[in-house]
Amino acid sequence: MRLAIIGLVLLIVGGVTVATGVLPVPEVFVLVDTVAPILGFVVAMTVVTELVSEAGAFQWIAHRLRQWGRGSSVLLWLLLALFATLSTVFLSLDTTAVLLTPVVVTVTRQAGLPVLPFALTTVWLANTASLLLPISNLTNLLAQHSLNGISPAGFAQLMWAPSIIAVLVPLAFIAVVFRRELFKSYATGSHRPASGAKSGSSSVTASGAASRNAGGARVTDRVLLAGSAVVLLLLLPALVSGIAIWIPSAAAAVVLALLFAIRRPKVLKVSLIPWSLLLFTGGLFLVVEATRYVGASVLIGQVAGQGEGFWELLRLAMTGALGSNVLNNLPAYLLAEPLAGTQARMAALLIGVNAGPLIAPWASLATLLWHDRLTRMNVLIKWPGYALSGLIVAPVTILASVAGLAIVGPGGLFR
């Protein structure tokens, strides 16, 4: 509700800029032409992931991961990290935050393990693992449009090195800081949730009962589970095939909706559509476009600099990260986009706005969604501790990722 109110305010402010002539009407039509397919994709993928979750696919995977962990906390952590990475890359960071977070909390509670390292892994990878493909992050979709519709394969070729580094650095931090918690063992046969496992850190505590719809819960409709799995398996390659991504995602949403209309029609509600997100994103686009039109990007350019050398790329990435943690990663990207006129600079900006939002709770929508899910499961986050960890991880991740880009990216030492 709060996000919807903010979005409504932004839409009103944006409407005022159009009505007063600050933002010309032709520019609004150009903006709509740019963002409409992107928002259509976001809506379709939200419906797809919600219905896949309702079918029990994510819970089934969580149960299998717990079994594959074989009683080893570190192996379970690595498997969940892999799942979070794949979910972020192929389904987007918001999907990871919304759907994987409850699964992670439930699995760790059932195993009697501390929630903190697993929860941090989820939210950090939801942000930092979102560099590889256009579908991984809304900022990537905007960048793809700005790069003249670069193919998913071309995008991945540009971002593969920073993507790998941006995943490994946060994992290395967690492995070192939480080494005691991660080298515990757990019983694989019990499905009883642990009663309030403690994290061992002053920044987070966990308490309360686990959700009963994850982990070892028995799937009630195998037809829905199998159908959603088939749709998902067909959708993933279609999303990276080069077809406009809103087409396969919309088709998948329609197929799943028809399947649920037959098997479980009560699930099909208007609330499946992320109205709050649409209001917020639409209003944000309009306001930021108005500020760009009156010259805000020129002012940011004084900080972001120019050029494609390592230090210039790092300067742009850090500008994006700073803007993300002061405002939000989406307006930070939109304001700095005119400054990223080459592939190398666009990649650096994406590193900053995707891997940088690890400090402020509002830095990315995924972080806010992650926190909301944790709160609903009685996992309490102390933001000072979260921000302190982010102040260490974010700069190191950006520095290492930009170094990888400078070495193997466009014009790099090995290109």
The pLDDT tens digits along the chain (415 residues) read 677 888 899 899 989 989 998 888 888 888 888 888 888 888 888 888 889 888 888 778 877 888 888 888 999 999 999 999 999 998 889 888 887 888 888 888 888 889 999 999 999 999 999 999 999 998 999 899 889 889 999 999 999 999 999 999 999 999 999 998 888 888 776 444 433 333 333 344 333 333 334 434 444 688 999 999 899 889 888 887 778 888 998 999 999 999 999 999 999 999 888 888 788 888 888 888 888 777 776 667 666 678 888 999 999 999 999 999 988 898 889 888 888 889 999 999 999 999 999 999 889 888 988 988 788 788 888 889 999 999 999 999 999 999 999 998 776 655 5
Is residue 415 domain-resident? no
Is 34 domain-assigned? yes
pLDDT (0 to 100) of residue 220: 65
pLDDT at 413: 58
Domain assignment of residue 352, yes or no: yes
Give the structural domain span for 183.
2-408
372 falls within a domain: yes
Residue 260 amino acid letter: F
pLDDT value, residue 197: 38
Best CA proximity match to 274, nearest among 106, 140, 92: 92
- Cβ atoms of 380 and 198 closer than 8 Å: no
Q: Quick one: pLDDT at residue 158?
A: 95
Q: Is residue 413 part of a domain?
A: no
Residue 357 lies in a domain: yes
Nearest to 158 by CA among 143, 142, 170: 143
Q: Is residue 166 part of a domain?
A: yes
**Token pair recorded at residue 267:** 């699930």
Write down the pLDDT at residue 345: 93
Cα 187 to its chain centre, rounded Å, is 31
State how many domains the chain has. Answer: 1
Q: Which residue has the tokens 């990223």?
A: 340
Contact 300, 340 (CB under 8 A): no
